[in-house]
Amino acid sequence: MGAEVLALPVVDLSRKRYSLQGIADVASKTAVRFWFGVMVIGQLLFAFTVASFYGMAALRGTSPQAWNRHITHGYVPGDTLGNFAVAMHLFSAAIIILAGMLQLIPQIRDRAPALHRWNGRLYIVTAFAVSLAGLYMTWIRGSVGDTHKHVGASLMAVLIMLCAVMALRYAMARDFKTHRRWALRLYIVVSASLFIRAALFLSFFLNHGAVRF
């Protein structure tokens, strides 16, 4: 009996555990890269659409007609401040998408730290600009939707500014590990507009039109 016990194969549990950990690490990194790839493609399409449609309208001098075709309370004659807020909101969206994409690329962060820092400053300033313009459009200019929608949009704007402040704070404190967590949170919250529009138009596609919009 003793000889049989001694003859049993020895299982190296530590090696097996490390092997499973390696598989989990590879799966996690693959999932992150896939998520980032999908996000970049979607956001580039979003930025191109905003820049090409509204940018070309501005160059042709047809901004009022273009804004009012797709935006409720778009261009209002005589409302200079409100029209400026709409323009800032639209063009800041295109800038923030491109800047955010660059911030998450580790090769840029490691090999061009100065570009990463200046692009990060641009990203934070633009995040505040798009949030403040959105709050103005929601509560002062007027926007589609009821109070629940306005409160949700306002909460998103507050979260954007909060994450921006925290990301900047930890970058200045040189706590880069915490800084990156807040920067990723900022990127995700800023991307909420893309998530909302993707879900909205997917609903249009699946239901062949607006359903309880």
pLDDT tens per residue across span 115-141:
999 999 999 999 998 888 888 888 887
Please state the pTM of the whole predicted model.
0.73
- Spatial separation of the C-alpha atoms in residues 167 and 135, rounded to whole Å: 21
Give 190's contacts (C-beta < 8 A, 6+ positions apart).
Answer: 96, 100, 127, 130, 160
Give 34's contacts (C-beta < 8 A, 6+ positions apart).
Answer: none
Given this model, what pLDDT does residue 148 score?
84
Higher pLDDT, 2 or 158: 158
pLDDT, averaged across the chain: 81
- Spatial separation of the C-alpha atoms in residues 44 and 48, rounded to whole Å: 6
Phi, psi of 126 (to 5 degrees): -70, -35
Highest-confidence range of 59-63, 76-80, 158-162, 196-200, by mean pLDDT?
Answer: 158-162
Residues 149-164 pLDDT 10s: 889 889 999 999 999 9
